[in-house]
Amino acid sequence: MNIPPDAPAAVFTSYGYANIGIPVNNLLPPSDPDLGLGAIEIVDDPLQDGKFKIPTLRNIEFSPPYSHNGKFPTLMDMVNFINDRSDYSPEVESNIDDRIDSIDLDESDINDITSFLKTLTDGY
Ligand code: HEM
């Protein structure tokens, strides 16, 4: 991961890319799998397939639906997915990041994290 040395931490991103196993959004027209970073011509590396930019969480409250294909309608849906993706099949199976899996949060934790994310809105 290339983090610029002067990158501000307050934007709540590590400036990296990862495949966290986002499933296909069936509300979108069918298409070939979206390889994300791996599909970029100058990258052209299967080890990057399925990786997407780790987005800033600033003002995240106001940008539903969530993930690159809008699979998750609400912030809580997204946090639930991060906690436990066992009910979903990833669109791209390769290169899934092992920092995301079975965090084992309970409902109260999910609520707390969702509330915390809403404090990242400018102006509070
Ligand atoms: C409790 C911990 C975490 C929380 C609360 C969290 C929260 C979120 C949220 C709300 C989004 C949706 C952003 C948007 O649609 O604009 C997101 C996307 C994403 N997160 Fe996290 N995240 C967490 C941990 C991680 C970790 C550890 C990684 C790195 C492995 C990661 C990588 C990503 C990536 C790559 C996306 C974009 C996925 C895509 O669009 O394909 N997240 N995260």
Instruction: For residue 30, report the distance from its CA to the centre of ligand 1, in Å.
Output: 24
Complete domains list, the chain, with CATH: 13-124 (1.10.760.10)
Measured from the CB, is residue 52 less than 6 Å from ligand 1? yes
Q: In terms of Cα–Cα distance, which of 49, 20, 54 is closest to 34?
A: 49
Measured from the CB, is residue 73 less than 6 Å from ligand 1? no
User: What is the residue whose two structure tokens read 């809008």?
Assistant: 70
pTM: 0.93
**Ligand 1 atom 42, closest CA:** 54
Which pLDDT tens digits describe the chain residue by residue (124 residues)? 567 778 777 889 989 999 999 999 999 999 999 999 999 989 889 999 999 999 999 999 999 999 999 999 999 999 999 999 999 999 999 999 988 876 889 999 999 999 999 999 987 5
Q: What is the largest CA-CA distance in the chain?
A: 44
From residue 93, how far is each of 22, 23, 47, 123 by CA, in Å? 10, 10, 11, 39
Mutate which of 14, 78, 104, 105 for ligand 1 pocket (most atoms within 8 A of beta carbon): 78
Instruction: For residue 67, report the distance from its CA to the centre of ligand 1, in Å.
Output: 8
